[in-house]
Amino acid sequence: LLVDKGNHRHFMAKEIYEQPETISHTLSHYLDMASESIALREALPFDFDDLTRLTISACGTAYYAGCIGKYWFERYARLPVDIDVASEFRYREPPLEKNGLSLFISQSGETADTLAALRYCAGQGQHIASLINTLESTIARESQVVFPILCGPEIGVASTKAFTAQLVSLASIAIAAGRARGALTPEAERKLVQALIGLPRAVSQALQAEEQIIEIARHLSRAQDVLYLGRGPMFPVAMEGALKLKEISYIHAEGYAAGELKHGPIALIDEDMPVIVVAPSDELVEKTLSNMQEVAARGGRIILITDEEGVKTVGHNVAETILMPRVDSFVAPIVATIPVQLLAYHTAVAMGTDVDQPRNLAKSVTVE
Ligand code: G6P
């Protein structure tokens, strides 16, 4: 193996801790530092301004990255977005509009369902783009344009640094699309770019919550089920957090849109059910507060991930608060990913599972 664990016990820990550097590296590809603006180096076979729709397909963690990308492309580029897991998309055979862009997100570039979705879209005359880590891969080869995520080899089966690199790439492409479509004023664009530039530092700060997270993880390791809640782009962060936990600790976990709590999962809440709420301060945080009150009223144990501003609004009646640095809401999903990765990692360590090689899972799923 060309890569080693350095001072870390597991590749997953190493890859979590590498993120300030990997994010800088990804950013340096998409950013023109001199003008502090996004400058896509890839030759595009389409014009963002002419696109009718963006259709994203992916599996697993890459799918959750795409779910966050949907919020960004809709909000900042005013581009309609559809997203589905590739295994559903490929058999739905959805009708696709002319001048649509299909985007495939895959760390390995070899996932069978994602590749099949790509071939379907190519057959439908869509523009084909992919967001890839392993550039010598089948999905990269069959794409008209490949956006690299550049996070280096990822060894841990549970994806961490590839996820944040996918997010940084998607955020950058969304800004480029927003500019091309006239959806962003120069000031708005500058503000988003500044937020991206501040990310490596914010992620380093987020990693400093580790000691506290180790304590929380000791409690979590005794839970049977864990619920993760979030709104807006924090909803996919909640789903990714739940996926990480189940993958490596084997504890049942679900990520839910906070607003859906009363449509089902609230029935599960009791003193034994930890509820992880991902709610940095943004325009939706007040809405999340009412969901937290519903959880607290039923004795649920809330672990809140927020920032100092958020504490003022939602920091009451919670068992634990994990503080994140305050960042622009644009990049907050990337920062909020760090504590959910650390929670899953330390819960698995507390349980003594095989963190880098969890049972039944493969790093790359090349069969259907
Ligand atoms: C497997 C891996 C996941 C990954 C998913 C998609 O399930 O264990 O970590 O998110 O495949 O893989 P890809 O290489 O297409 O991103």
* pLDDT (tens digit per residue) in 80-124: 999 999 999 999 999 999 999 999 999 999 999 999 999 999 999
Instruction: Judge whether residue 266 has pLDDT over 70.
Output: yes
pLDDT averaged over the chain?
Answer: 96
Q: Nearest 5 degrees, angle CA 281-CA 73-CA 102?
A: 145
Residue 368's pLDDT band (cuts 50, 70, 90): confident
Q: Please report the pLDDT score of residue 367 as a whole number.
A: 84
262 is catalytic: no
- ipTM greater than 0.90: yes
Integer Cα distance of 218 and 214 in angstroms? 6
Give the residue-averaged pLDDT of 230-245: 98
Instruction: Judge whether residue 337 has pLDDT over 90.
Output: yes
Q: Please report the pLDDT score of residue 33 as a whole number.
A: 86
User: Which ligand 1 atom is nearest residue 108's CA?
Assistant: 14
The two three-digit tokens of residue 117, written as one number: 């979705």
Asked whether 276 and 243 are in contact (CB, 8 A), the reply is: no
CA 296–ligand 1 middle distance (angstroms): 35
Residue 72's pLDDT band (cuts 50, 70, 90): very high
CA 142–ligand 1 middle distance (angstroms): 19
Under DSSP, is residue 45 helix (H, G, I), strand (E, B) or coil?
coil
Give the residue-averaged pLDDT of 284-288: 91
Closest CA to 300 of 229, 350, 200: 229
Instruction: Judge whether residue 2 has pLDDT over 90.
Output: no
Instruction: Judge whether residue 43 has pLDDT over 70.
Output: yes
Q: 345: alpha, beta or left, given left = phi > 0 and alpha = psi -120 to 50?
A: alpha
Integer Cα distance of 204 and 331 in angstroms? 14
Instruction: Judge whether residue 3 has pLDDT over 80.
Output: no
Indicate the residue type of 285.
V
Taking residue 215's Cβ as centre, other Cβ atoms within 10 Å add up to 11
DSSP β-ladder status, 225-230 and 274-278: parallel
DSSP state at residue 149: -
Q: What is the pTM of this model?
A: 0.97
Pocket test for ligand 1, best of 137, 341, 365 (most atoms within 8 A of CB): 365
CA 364–ligand 1 middle distance (angstroms): 6
